[in-house]
Amino acid sequence: MNKTSIEKKLKKIKHKADELLHRSLDQQVNVAVTGLSRSGKTAFITSLVNQLISENQQSELAFFTPVSQQRFIAAKRVPQQHNLIQRFTYDEGIAALSQHTPTWPKPTKSISELRLAIRYQPTSSLLKLATDVVTLYIDFTDYPGEWLLDLPMLNQTFEEWSEQTMALLTKEPRLSVASEFIDEVNKLDPFAPLDEQVLAELSEKYTDILHTFREELGMSVIQPGRFILPGDLAGAPILQFFPFTGFDSIDKNEYQNAETNSMIGTLRARFIEYKSRVVKKFYKQYFVNFDRQIVLCDSLSSLNHGKASFDDLQLAISMILESFDYGKSSLLKRLFSPKIDKLLFAATKADHVTPDQHSNMVHLLNKMVYKKRHELHYQSVDVKTLAIASIRTTDVGKSRYQNKDINVIKGQRAADDKVITVFPGSVPSEIPKDDYWQANTFNFIEFSPRVPLRDHQALPHIRMDQALEFLLGDKMR
């Protein structure tokens, strides 16, 4: 071997060794984003990714230390890890926001994934000794918060679940929507021979009323969560069951012995199968892998809908929080071994109100998660609450009203595309008491994105840098 070929070989070996070293120093984190439908999950991931890949192009990330300390080098999208999960539709979202008349990204219905690689200079002495540049791989998962509402079902029998659900259905405002469905269930003979068509039709009716609860009444507790977001299970018999009434009047023995050739036997069997094949599967396959979790909460829309909607949001939040209770006796800990160590609760769409109301948005959210936050603290889960806007659509200004300067926002109202300047109202800092609802009407207006996003430009936002710092800051030291 001559000298140059030895040199070449040595160089190659050194390159390989460097590559191996880098690979072992590279880090990875799974960041999950959830929230009830329309809470702003797609906008959040789209903006977060856009902020990171557009860094240095006038992005505003002052509170994200790798950027403020000038250690952030670049971020780029790389192929996602799991080929069986839908791709997060980042390009489609950016395309919608870049149109001449920009629009919001389309609603999504299932779980999706996106992988990002960030190169940065480390500060931690150990890493610094070994290398100048490290890559952090982030796997973002977007999944419907409704799926978390199903966790409590794992602890219930079909009778218990039916009873609890019927108690909810027989109270206003749900009752007016559900009464016809309840009448039909009352007429059902539980021990009649199985008629799949009848069960399919009643399940469809039950699903329809769940949609009305969510979309028209602004209710948040929707169970089973997959019924309104079925993904590829749409039309499958596993989603064809519903709560049954009249357990008091049926023979207990006959019920226990009912087989799947009877109506009630099949309803119960499907409920059990749903719990193990759908609910448990989600926790086992996805949830246990998440390291960091963001829960988005659109409290302004619930305030707009009124007391019933707001109370229901509170109930839904407490149900969602069960998925983060890692105390020894928790259902979750017994069944799975989750490892989330940081949990961010974000009140979204903060650009719908004036900045002086943001602290109230946070106080209100804190009140909703207060009890659990305390418990989680003892289980060493780091919890933070923030008011954010993933994509800011309004500008802030001052206006004179009754000889006083008041804060106002200016934006393009989604309902009629008119540019308006308004004081949209104040956000309560406490859980509102009953009399509060009589005296106050909220009118938080929905706005459209106004300025088309230009190539490589970063989206305007509120506190996305603080969200990034909480979620990733410690992973990029």
Query: Does residue 416 touch ligand GTP according to CB under 6 A?
Result: no
**Binding segment (CB under 6 A) for ligand GTP, from list 35-43, 113-121, 249-257, 360-368:** 35-43
Q: Are strands 112-120 and 134-142 parallel, antiparallel or unpaired?
A: antiparallel
The reply to whether 389 sits near ligand GTP by the rule CB under 6 A is yes
Binding mask of the shown chain, residues 436 to 465, with x at each position contacting ligand GTP by CB under 6 A: ----------xx------------------
Rounded to 10°, the helix 174-187/196-215 angle is: 170
Residues of this chain, 179-238, that bind ligand GTP according to CB under 6 A: none
**For 174, left (φ over 0), alpha (ψ -120 to 50), or beta?**
alpha
Tokens of 295: 């829960």
Q: Is 323 in the site for ligand GTP (CB under 6 A)?
A: no
Cβ atoms < 10 Å from Cβ of 122 = 21
Query: Rounded to an integer, what distance in angstroms lies between the CA atom of residue 72 and that of residue 133?
Result: 10
Q: Which residues pair with 400 in a beta bridge?
A: 405
* Shortest spacing between CB 107 and Mg ion, in angstroms: 6
Taking the complex as a whole, the smallest distance from the CB of residue 410 to ligand GTP amounts, in Å, to 13
Residues contacting residue 222 through CB under 8 Å, at least 6 positions apart: 146, 149, 210, 213, 214, 228
Q: Using CB distances below 5 to 8 A depending on partner kind, what does residue 293 bind out of Mg ion, ligand GTP, none? A: none
Binding piece for ligand GTP, criterion CB under 6 A, among 79-87, 245-253, 260-268, 347-355: 347-355
Q: What are phi and psi of 336, to 5 degrees?
A: -135, 180
Residue 349 contacts Mg ion per CB under 5 A: no
Tell me: does residue 203 bind Mg ion (CB under 5 A).
no
* Stretch of 33-41, 130-138, 350-358, 368-376 lying at the interface with Mg ion (CB under 5 A): 33-41
Coil vs helix vs strand at 138: strand
Binding flag, residue 463, Mg ion (CB under 5 A):
no
Site string for ligand GTP, 82-121 (x = CB under 6 A): ----------------------xx-xx-------------
- 41 counts as binding ligand GTP under rule CB under 6 A: yes
Distance of alpha carbon 188 from alpha carbon 165, whole angstroms? 17
Among 30, 33, 41, 136, which residue sits at the site for Mg ion (rule: CB under 5 A)? Answer: 41
CA distance 455 to 311: 43
42 binding Mg ion? (CB under 5 A)? yes
Among 291, 325, 351, 469, binds ligand GTP (CB under 6 A): 351
Whether 453 and 105 have beta carbons less than 8 Å apart is answered as: no
Tell me the C-alpha distance between 389 and 462, whole Å.
5
CA distances from residue 465 to 72, 267, 453, 461 in whole angstroms, order as listed: 13, 48, 19, 9
**Binding status of residue 293 toward ligand GTP by CB under 6 A:** no
Short-list 356, 305, 287, CA closest to 144? 287
Q: Residue 190's binding partner, choosing from ligand GTP, Mg ion, none, with beta-carbon cut-off 5 to 8 A by kind?
A: none
> Would you count residue 357 as binding ligand GTP (CB under 6 A)?
no
Among 108, 112, 207, 357, binds Mg ion (CB under 5 A): 108
Q: What is the rounded CA–CA span in Å between residue 263 and residue 190?
A: 5
Q: Residue 325 corresponds to which tokens in the numbers above?
A: 């209770």
What's the min distance (Å) between Cβ of 395 and ligand GTP?
Answer: 12
Least gap, CB of 222 to ligand GTP (angstroms):
12
Q: Which residues bind Mg ion (CB under 5 A)?
A: 41-42, 108
Q: Which residues bind ligand GTP (CB under 6 A)?
A: 35, 37-43, 104-105, 107-108, 144, 348-349, 351-352, 389-391, 393, 446-447
